[in-house]
Amino acid sequence: MELDDLIRPNILAMKPYSSARDEFSGQAGIFLDANENPNETGLNRYPDPYQKEIKRKLSALKGVAENRIFLGNGSDEPIDLLIRIFCRPGVDSILILDPTYGMYQVAAAVNDVTVIKAPLTENFELDPETVLSQIQRDTKIIFLCSPNNPSGNLLSKTAMQRIMGNFTGIVVVDEAYIDFTDDPGFIDELDKYPHLVVLQTFSKAWGMAGLRVGMAFASERIIQLLNKVKPPYNINILSQQKILNALENPENVKTAMTEIISQRSWLREHLANHPSVEKIYPSDSNFLLIRFRDAQKIFRELLSLQIITRDRSSVLHGSNCLRITVGTPEENKKLVEALFEMT
Ligand code: PMP
């Protein structure tokens, strides 16, 4: 299907918000166009709506053209915008994996869009035929989360490619946790799959969840659509400055990541023989999914010691699982001690 046939007609027809500065800022030294306060505070001006400086640096880092990058208020923002661009409320559907990250379903519900769920296998692997068999006539987007949350594992690349090669709608690959793996992810395959959108984030490996900045990489046309529907100033000036600073030293991410991965192994080793632990699932991310004999009891006891974890039993159809984020070495030690004290 052509991209234009996938876009909601009202989105295709609408005129986006634009400011005088979008067009003429190069010619101006006195800015009387945006009803700002003229007194210099460092924050009195609106931020760059298209974050051009950040995209210049990201382009060099990721090897993607600037006009194929979108920045959002977390990667949660492009998830919502993509559903709004492509899915007609009350008519269209998205297809997601089961289990997977919860926001796809929430964003679909907000937009009155149906959610179809394709189960992963017992070991949370992707069976492309199961996914392809669930596609309906009005399915517009398939969300593939790799590494997947809450299971933690990378999905098979060939299985994902099989889906991309056999679905005419939009495929979103959510790579929020990709920096915790050696896998190059799908950014390099954007040319091969014109309806592919890759999501990444500054919230995890970059350690800046509080800034709320996420990235989408896609064709120039899809990026234009995201820009068309986004709120004009969706990344504030302080966040833009912090991201620019972080991009000066991208090697810091590698260092932090190595430490987290080594702590992940430490946690796995130290919990493997715990009497209440039934299974620790393979993880390519910064968390472990652990099946306990009684997850709710462990959750409550940890909470009474002020350690909060995430009980994922309900989204795992009653399987007794906690999702536990890898913390600092001290935090991880406390977690292990707490768990062994409660046996
Ligand atoms: N995708 C996945 C798979 C996630 O787990 C998360 C956060 N938990 C996000 C996207 C959202 O990240 P953010 O909005 O902070 O970029």
Q: 323 and 150 in contact (C-beta within 8 Å)?
A: yes
Report how far ligand 1's centroid is from the alpha carbon of 194 (Å): 23
Report how far ligand 1's centroid is from the alpha carbon of 105 (Å): 13
Report how far ligand 1's centroid is from the alpha carbon of 13 (Å): 31
212: which residues sit within 8 A by CB, 6+ positions away? 73, 74, 203, 239
Q: Other CB atoms closer than 10 Å to residue 133's CB: what's the count?
A: 9
pLDDT value at residue 343: 62
- Ligand 1: does its nearest atom lie under 6 Å from the Cβ of 149? yes
pTM reported for the whole predicted model: 0.97
Reported ipTM: 0.99
pLDDT value at residue 101: 98
Rounded Cα gap, residues 214 and 226, in angstroms: 13
H or E segment at 76?
helix 76-86
* CA 100 to ligand 1: nearest atom: 3
- Predicted confidence pLDDT, tens digits, the chain (343 residues): 899 999 999 999 999 988 877 777 778 889 999 999 999 999 999 999 999 999 999 999 999 999 999 999 999 999 999 999 999 999 999 999 999 999 999 999 999 999 999 999 999 999 999 999 999 999 999 999 999 999 999 999 999 999 999 999 999 999 999 999 999 999 999 999 999 999 999 999 999 999 999 999 999 999 999 999 999 999 999 999 999 999 999 999 999 999 999 999 999 999 999 999 999 999 999 999 999 999 999 999 999 999 999 999 999 988 899 999 999 999 999 999 999 998 6
Report which residue type is found at 173: V
Q: 274 and 338 in contact (C-beta within 8 Å)?
A: no
pLDDT value at residue 75: 98
What letters, b where the CB count within 10 A reaches 16 and e where it falls short, cover 217-229?
A: bbbeebbebbbbb
Query: In this structure, what token pair is assigned to residue 89?
Result: 């409320």
- Ligand 1: does its nearest atom lie under 6 Å from the Cβ of 76? yes
* CA 73 to ligand 1: nearest atom: 14
Q: For ligand 1, atom 8, which residue shows the shortest CA distance?
A: 101
* CA 148 to ligand 1: nearest atom: 3
